[in-house]
Structure 1
Amino acid sequence: MKLVIAIVHDEDVHPLLEDLTAKKFRVTKLATTGGFLKSGNTTLLVGVEGEYVDQVIEIIKENCQSREQMATSPTPVSGATGVFIPYPIEVTVGGATVFVVDVEKYVKL
């Protein structure tokens, strides 16, 4: 058995969940927060037999496309005193980060 851990952008999670559950995969959804833009992410946990891992990754790939988005620059972390004027920057959002790990033991109660 394998555990697929997928970290996806909040905008992509609903169609992805619908697609995974329509294909009878069981999914656990965790609300998480990204580090760079502090934007909302969702972490999905999908436990599958090894032969279904590629199918799950393909479903994630179909539903989570990266795209460009305008955002304001993050505030400086240094102790500079003065006026900080945020400016728009273009960043890539979306896509997915996927980890596949072996499951030593699986128990459903």
Structure 2
Amino acid sequence: MKMITAIVQNDDANKLISSLREKGFSCTKLSSTGGFLSSGNTTILSGVDDDRVEEEIEIIRKICKTKKKVTAAIPPSSFSTVGGYLPQTIEVTVGGAVVFVNSVDRFEKI
């Protein structure tokens, strides 16, 4: 058995969970916050039999695509917005998923 931990963007979380459940996977949803852009994201935990790991990862790949987002560049701390600093916008890639697969030594459903 494996534990899949997938960190996904909030926008993709509900669709991913629905798709996983349709295919017979169970999962637990945890709210989390990412370090980059302090954006909200969701961590999904799922216990999976070894022979179904790739199937679940393919579902995650299908749902959690990267996207381009335009955001304000964060000024260095020595700048002041009062002093006339106008933040520049930058385009960044967001979305996708970060997936960890770990072996589970013991599993009990009580």
| TM-score normalised to structure 2 length | 0.91
What is the letter of the counterpart of residue 89 of structure 1? I
Segments of 4+ moved more than 3 angstroms: 81-84
What is the letter of the counterpart of residue 49 of structure 2? E
What is the letter of the counterpart of residue 5 of structure 2? I
CA-atom RMSD in angstroms: 1.2
Deviation at 1:85, TM superposition (A): 2.8
Cα distance in 1, alignment partners of residues 61 and 52 from structure 2: 14
Gaps of 5+ in 1: none
Cα distance change, pair 38–75 in 1 and its aligned pair in 2 (3 A): farther
Deviation at 1:75, TM superposition (A): 4.2
Counterpart residue number, 1:97: 98
Deviation per residue, 1:55-103 (Å, 9 max, x gap)? 0000000000001110111243x4x153343221101011001000001
What is the letter of the counterpart of residue 32 of structure 2? T
Does residue 10 (structure 1) correspond to residue 4 (structure 2)? The answer is no
Equivalences for 1:13-32 in 2 at 5 Å? 13-32=13-32
Contact 1:13 1:42 in 2 (8 A): yes
Counterpart residue number, 1:86: 87
Counterpart residue number, 1:44: 44
Contact 1:10 1:41 in 2 (8 A): yes
| TM-score normalised to structure 1 length | 0.92
Could you say what secondary structure the match of 1:86 adopts? Answer: coil
Could you say what secondary structure the match of 1:18 adopts? Answer: helix
Could you say what secondary structure the match of 2:25 adopts? Answer: coil
